[in-house]
Amino acid sequence: MFDIEFLLEQYPSEFRLKPLLIVHGDSRHDNQSIKNQCSPYPQIEIYPARLDIPFGTHHTKMMFLLYETGLRIVIHTANLILQDWKQKTQGIWISPICPKMNDDRESKTNFKKDLLEYIERYRARPLQFWQKTISEHDFSSI
């Protein structure tokens, strides 16, 4: 679930025009709602997650935050709506900032490998940028 206004309000104002990709698993009806919410914001691209089974769902709540100093991964349980962030108990994991690297170092946990495999399963052209970006960063601290 998404509330695009709420999401953008969480960004510092100087970053609100940065490109934003939202991959969602909402139904066709909800997809139109997301499109309508995003229409005033040309910097937002939305992409529906492909579900290979008729009654599948997509519940992933994950952010890739790219900084000048590196890449941070955020995985959380809350939907991107005010009620989930203000009125419910939720979980969140925030990675350290993973610096850009020249070699292909992996973490002891294989986090990078597993994350890349997970993203690849989307078979989504819009995520190719993030696959490349993740592969260029050092996840050895995770």
Structure confidence at residue 33 (pLDDT) = 83
CATH of the domain at 51: 3.30.870.10
pTM of the model: 0.85
Predicted confidence at residue 65, as pLDDT, reads: 95
Q: Is residue 56 part of a domain?
A: yes
Answer whether residue 135 is part of any domain.
no
Q: Which residues are annotated as a binding site?
A: 61
pLDDT at 76: 95
Name the percent of the chain lying above pLDDT 70. Answer: 93
pLDDT, average across residues 10-39: 84
Q: In whole angstroms, give the CA distance from residue 2 to residue 133.
A: 25
Active site residues: 59
Q: Decide if 121 is inside a domain.
A: no
Q: Is residue 119 part of a domain?
A: no
Cα separation of 28 and 69, whole Å? 38
Indicate whether 107 belongs to any domain. no
Query: Which residue(s) pair with 80 in the sheet?
Result: 2
Q: Is residue 116 part of a domain?
A: no
Asked if the structure places residue 69 within a domain, the reply is: yes
Map residue 82 onto helix, strand or coil.
helix
Binding residues for substrate: 61
Burial class (CB in 10 A: 0-12, 13-18, 19+), 26: middle
Mean pLDDT computed over 82-108: 87
Residue numbers of the domain that contains 26:
4-99
Q: Return the pLDDT at 7.
A: 93
**Does a structural domain hold residue 123?**
no
* Total of domains in the chain: 1
Please compute the mean of the pLDDT values over residues 2-25 and round it to a whole number.
90
